[in-house]
Amino acid sequence: MLKMFSTQLTGLFNRIHEKEEFSFEDGARLLAQAAVGDGLIYLYGKQEMAAILAEAFHSSEPLKNAKPLEGHEQEVTAADRVVIFSRYSNDEETLKVAKWLREQRIPFVTVATKSNDEKECIAALSDVHINLHVTRALLPDEDGSRYGYPASMAALFVYYGLTLTLKEILADY
């Protein structure tokens, strides 16, 4: 089972890399505006997406000039940039945050699985959206259901894609 999960996960990472290549570049450029200016990079993620915030703030390689958005909303200015991580792009709580950022004219990147049938979603509100492409769990169960939904793993892959691209941009700057 682990071999199958590993194969499926590798395919997912490759799909994200291939289909979102330009969005990684655009998102990192947007974040670089804060990094080279007077701004900060704020991160937002709830539920399993809190894993990305733990990686960004408590890992051996924390993201420089970054803060969690929650609890610091009153500090955010137009010089700052925000990255929102969500399982789905139509999550109601995340939509509220995206609408607030849009009203405040704060540029932001969103990272979530986008469905084509969504009427209102964070992808439509953001400056840059990176689709996680996690449309279903990866492994079939004996009863026909599926399990192994790797939303946080895909989001961590995107987080690293953004931060590595940001690092390259800043090195060139």
pLDDT tens sequence across 62-75 = 999 999 999 999 99
| 147: helix, strand or coil | strand
Q: Please tell me the predicted confidence (pLDDT) of residue 18.
A: 97
Q: Please tell me the predicted confidence (pLDDT) of residue 126.
A: 96
Report, in this order, helix, strand and coil percent for the chain, each rounded to 5: 50, 15, 30
Q: For CA atoms 15, 156, 42, 31, give the dihedral sign.
A: negative
- pLDDT one-digit tens code per residue, 10-53: 999 999 999 999 999 999 999 999 999 999 999 999 999 999 99
CA distance 157 to 76: 26
Helix (H) or strand (E) holding 67: strand 66-68
Interval 78-83 mean pLDDT: 97
Interval 66-92 mean pLDDT: 96
Share of the chain above pLDDT 70, in %: 99
With CA atoms as reference, report the closest residue to 130 among 46, 19, 43.
19
| Predicted structure pTM score | 0.94
Q: Please tell me the predicted confidence (pLDDT) of residue 143.
A: 85
Report the first-to-last Cα separation within the chain, whole angstroms: 45
